[in-house]
Structure 1
């Protein structure tokens, strides 16, 4: 079977990249790909060099110093790696130490210190985790997220909620039965304003609730000691807080595979080994120099051409599944920070990058699809499909006298969901509107690892194709400078 007939790159795990509606006549063509052959080969060589050495041509830290890029190392649990057997064992031990002992964890982080963690929580726990009894959570604590916005109302309500739960527990179990909260504060420097401001408000408020509430803190920060010690590292050392690492060489948007994300995984009993095994399997699949066998390179090439030649410079990331919305939100940061660049490596002003948009099927078929179908032809719609749902209710014939409702009776909800997705894809394709589908055999830790790692590696490939640095983010420094000045001015007015 030729690549044109197949139009689906399927891995041994069953993971599939279906690009039939993105490649072929009237779409990105074989000629387009052939014309880019030399640049594709160079991009693959650069990514292989990155994988072997951590070196990316021209990449500097925000301080202007040479900096390695080490995220491709993360799937491999090996001595001397960022994820070592000892570090993974310590994470698992931390998770076990919470079981049946800690009532609630609050995770404070923003950007990559929040978005990836929320993905792991949503996929593993779902919406109703915090409503389940402790036995149904296998003893793992409830988990809340904060610090991802400086929101006064929500922060106050979180404090009130924890206090109310503590009072309810005390009323049931006696005055000596303390409510235990672990605060996990994630910041490489400890000066992340959004995260630290919210953490300090919650920390102080809960401290005032002693002895009703017992508070512990865990810091996830830069591990450097001595002269290079960060603010948060110093606070942790002074207060005796346990610490995990925000590793050097791993930007926040890639950090879900590091202790930054895995600390959340440990708190909820998420399968860390399977998650990293999925990322590792994807990395191994993407070492092929054959574009038609390398899903990350193929994804990058087709979308690069779609944008540069055909003007499809918006990417709608549209998973079909409620608990995958956070994957789309994580991808927004990954794509925007990695590829939204004013200058290329040669200093030329290029204003490169696709604009990412979050959508969820079928929800946004009733909200955004009108624009996708009839608006400007400036989009690639990237679907995510789950092939086999664990627990897939059959739609009953609850009202047999109603023909329109009886017509959908007898099929599963998963089948109905897929009928909606495939209809959307077909309708878009019939009007020359580019779309593609990532197919996960099941929604589990392994296949989630495959998907997230494919997307992470794809931006590395596309950065090379576009000749931009996919690993810096100079644009965010502009607002930080202005915000810092405004905060200083506010402080003077107090």
Structure 2
């Protein structure tokens, strides 16, 4: 994995970039950030220990996944947010967007509660040959529990058994899923209390689904450990997991660049962008600094896919406000390839496309977009992966986790919690009639009593 920071420097981005010498001048700051991250890994930053911890769990996970494969054709992962985004990242990156079309064993995701979407899936699969992984850190996530009720109802009609066909991945001690698992003798995997959803992909949360698909989870974890070793041994001013957040921080604080576009030139990596979207937004969007000072920190992530979004949002990136940093995710060698030869449609308009690898246009469109943005002095950074495989994805995941934690340290905020997410959850429970949250309704009475402005 190589990261090119050149186009985020002032030689290209002019007044919208950083001075290269700032990296060296802030070597001590970067050193302190690195030390803080490593010092906190056994407490706040416990997810950084997962590659070592989960190595010991791999054999059991693979053995259980194989037993599920022997008895079921499909796995449906049910969860919300970080409980499922990591699963989707591993599946779509390593199996491909249309991987289910050729896979012997198929995996699907219920990551929302749209009845049309979910009923379409559940009515299409053979429920008696389908296994379910319900993932909820708290064990009480309302959307996940609603989907469980739906699945239970449909399974009963189909002659299935929810408890025999389920895995609960949840808190090791408390919550409804944990209690139900004990009562009904359902297989359960723990989510450590110090592992938040968006940092959980390298835990049981993400690894079981990957193992079910035949993905080598040991290679994923080994690559993550290698990225950690690189972080420990490297000089701070030469560590890309510190340089990227330093540039994000400087552009945010000094240049008012508060939007980061994750622009992937690979369909398989689009879900890496969607996973990173939550990682960045939920970790960095904070009202308060660690000392209690109100700061309203936050960088808004935008997910784009090339060349698709060249035909929709690139015009904005090129000529709109100077409030964006573009982060390209690029693959140099694709796992599938073909050659467009002379025998294909002999028309002069097509001549420039012949005698090339199919992927050449994709890569050259990335290069062209990078140059075009740079000519307009739009700061951009390129992260190039040689090939998508377990090793490169494991490294990418761990790199981004380190990077976001470092950005949190630079901003003096807690990148692990998400206090405001819980507010909406409590109001939702109250609106659905949950007696445990009825007092919460009083907090929204003022809003309900306001004069409305509603037009047709």
TM-score computed with the length of structure 1 as normaliser:
0.83
Residue ranges of structure 2 left out of the alignment (5+ in a row): 439-456
Match of 1:19 in 2: 5
Runs of 4+ in 1 over 4 A off after TM superposition: 211-215, 489-492
Q: Does 1:145 align with 2:109?
A: yes
* Distance of 1:215 and 1:145 partners within structure 2: 19
Deviation at 1:33, TM superposition (A): 3.0
Comparing 205-214 with 149-158, greater Cα deviation is found at 205-214
Q: Secondary structure at the match of 2:107?
A: strand
Q: Secondary structure at the match of 1:488?
A: coil
Match of 1:118 in 2: 88
Q: Deviations over 1:261-286 (max 9, x none)?
A: 00111110111011111111111111
* Distance of 1:412 and 1:366 partners within structure 2: 23
The one of 395, 405, 413 aligned to 1:468: 413
Deviation at 1:19, TM superposition (A): 1.0
Superposed counterparts of 1:50-199, under 5 Å: 50-51=40-41, 54-55=42-43, 68-76=44-52, 81=53, 83-85=54-56, 87-132=57-102, 137=104, 141-146=105-110, 148-162=111-125, 165=126, 179-199=128-148
Q: Deviations over 1:210-265 (max 9, x none)?
A: 169996111111122xxxx3211111111111111112211111100001000111
Match of 2:195 in 1: 250
Query: Does the Cα contact within 8 Å between 1:399 and 1:406 map onto a contact in 2?
Result: no
Deviation at 1:98, TM superposition (A): 2.4
TM-score computed with the length of structure 2 as normaliser:
0.90
Q: Secondary structure at the match of 2:321?
A: coil
Deviation at 1:303, TM superposition (A): 1.3
Q: Which has the higher contact order (CA 8 A, sep 6+)?
A: 2
Deviation at 1:489, TM superposition (A): 7.4
Distance 1:391 1:222, change over 3 A: same
The one of 220, 224, 227 aligned to 1:282: 227
Q: Does 1:335 align with 2:280?
A: yes
* Distance of 2:161 and 2:190 partners within structure 1: 31
Q: Does 1:223 align with 2:172?
A: yes
* Distance of 1:311 and 1:402 partners within structure 2: 49
Match of 2:383 in 1: 438
Deviation at 1:31, TM superposition (A): 3.9
Match of 2:453 in 1: none
The one of 361, 368, 387 aligned to 1:416: 361
The one of 372, 380, 386 aligned to 2:331: 386
Q: Secondary structure at the match of 1:208?
A: helix
* Distance of 1:240 and 1:363 partners within structure 2: 47
Q: Does 1:205 align with 2:162?
A: no
Residue ranges of structure 1 left out of the alignment (5+ in a row): 1-14, 56-67, 167-178
Q: Deviations over 1:143-190 (max 9, x none)?
A: 1111x212111122122112xx46xxxxxxxxxxxx422111011222
The one of 262, 273, 283 aligned to 2:218: 273
* Distance of 1:237 and 1:215 partners within structure 2: 13
Q: Secondary structure at the match of 1:110?
A: coil
RMSD of aligned residue pairs (Cα, Å): 2.1
Query: Does the Cα contact within 8 Å between 2:83 and 2:200 map onto a contact in 1?
Result: yes
Deviation at 1:293, TM superposition (A): 2.6
* Distance of 1:385 and 1:479 partners within structure 2: 36
Match of 2:245 in 1: 300
Match of 1:62 in 2: none
Match of 1:47 in 2: 37
The one of 242, 261, 269 aligned to 1:316: 261
Match of 1:61 in 2: none
* Distance of 1:205 and 1:326 partners within structure 2: 29
